């Protein structure tokens, strides 16, 4: 059986990618965490590796038997990047170069990027819109994209926004956090002036599978059908999970005092995915209902 390499296999998207590809391929997962910590480790061959260390990455068996390699590893702490820019660039830019040095020339590299490469002033955005990254996180992600696009490697760039979904031991999961807070009767403050069309991780894994299968090189956007504020997103979560939406209070981004700039009017236009590959873009509520089924299956 052919194999696929998944870097960042223990992250939210990584876990969903492992489940998706384990159905048809031998999965070789790479991550920074020790082995046998996650249930999904039974679905793959796992190697512990710091991808910012080129010497460690060179020991991973990326060969011509690979259908593709998927880089789902990233430094995603947007505010943390402002004070730890070295680490952000190591993971989001330099690690891409390390991967390019060990991957065979004919093996596609799928790179998971972000809507943050746009400035968020006039979204939603198409794949061809001009980029204008704001802040360290955004710039480091765009630099990683450029490295890949300029390398000559077969490249598939996938840009989600406000990624959410189900997984084990997640350090950050907006839906799981919100559901937990509301179930405990805690009041929460959610910004009402940041707009996106959130991306469901399980369906994003399906999209990546489709793109690889179709050898669909280039940049691709994926999110839900509607662009909504974070506050509206939270209200929809409360509705689907049958929780008290009255505990959710709208606030402005300015009130949070965050270090890094956020794309305020963002979102991703997914027409290319629909027109070229016939993949359906679903309403946000439908995807949240799918997530609820996934979270409480069995």
For the residues of 21-69, what is the DSSP string, one character each?
HTTTSEEEEEESSPTTSSGGGGGSEEEE--TTSHHHHTTS---TTEEEE
Among residues 116, 125, 137, 164, the one annotated as catalytic is 137
Q: How far apart are CA 279 and CA 270, in angstroms?
A: 9
Q: Which two tokens stand for residue 283?
A: 């309403």
Per-residue CA distances from 165 to 75, 115, 129, 237 (Å): 18, 18, 27, 12
Pairing of strands 66-71, 45-48: unpaired
CB proximity list for 213: less than 8 A, separation 6 or greater: none
Radius of gyration over every alpha carbon of the chain, rounded to an integer in angstroms:
19
Residue 141: Cβ-neighbour burial (10 angstroms; 0-12, 13-18, 19+): buried
The CA-atom distances, in angstroms, between 260 and each of 79, 130, 133, 171 are 5, 21, 11, 19
DSSP E strand stretches across the chain: 3-7, 26-31, 45-48, 66-71, 109-112, 155-159, 163-164, 188-191, 195-196, 199-200, 218-221, 228-229, 248-251
Q: Is 137 a catalytic residue?
A: yes
- Positions marked active-site: 137
């Amino acid at each position: 059986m052919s194999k696929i390499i998944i870097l960042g296999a223990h992250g939210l998207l990584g876990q969903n990618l492992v489940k998706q590809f384990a159905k048809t391929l031998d999965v070789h997962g790479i991550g920074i965490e020790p082995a046998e910590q996650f249930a999904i480790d039974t679905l793959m061959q796992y190697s512990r590796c710091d991808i910012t260390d080129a010497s460690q990455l060179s020991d991973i068996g990326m060969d011509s038997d690979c259908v593709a390699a998927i880089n789902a590893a990233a430094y995603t702490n947007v505010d943390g990047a402002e004070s730890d820019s070295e680490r952000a660039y190591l993971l989001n830019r330099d690690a891409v170069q390390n991967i390019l040095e060990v991957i065979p020339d004919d093996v596609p590299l799928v790179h998971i990027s972000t809507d943050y490469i746009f400035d968020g002033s006039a979204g939603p955005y198409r794949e061809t819109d001009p980029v204008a990254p704001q802040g360290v996180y955004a710039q480091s992600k765009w630099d990683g994209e450029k490295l890949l696009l300029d390398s000559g490697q077969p490249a598939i760039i996938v840009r989600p926004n406000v990624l959410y979904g189900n997984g084990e031991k997640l350090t950050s999961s907006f839906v799981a956090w919100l559901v937990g807070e509301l179930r405990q009767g805690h009041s929460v403050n959610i910004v009402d002036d940041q707009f996106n069309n959130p991306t469901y991780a399980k369906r994003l894994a399906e999209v990546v599978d489709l793109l690889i299968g179709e050898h669909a090189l280039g940049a691709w956007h994926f999110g839900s059908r509607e662009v909504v504020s974070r506050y509206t997103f939270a209200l929809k979560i409360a509705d689907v999970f049958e929780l008290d939406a009255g505990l959710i209070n709208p606030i402005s981004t300015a009130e949070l005092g965050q270090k890094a700039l956020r794309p305020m009017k963002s979102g991703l236009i997914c027409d290319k995915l629909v027109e070229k590959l016939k993949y359906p873009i679903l309403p946000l509520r439908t995807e949240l209902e799918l997530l609820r089924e996934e979270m409480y299956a069995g």
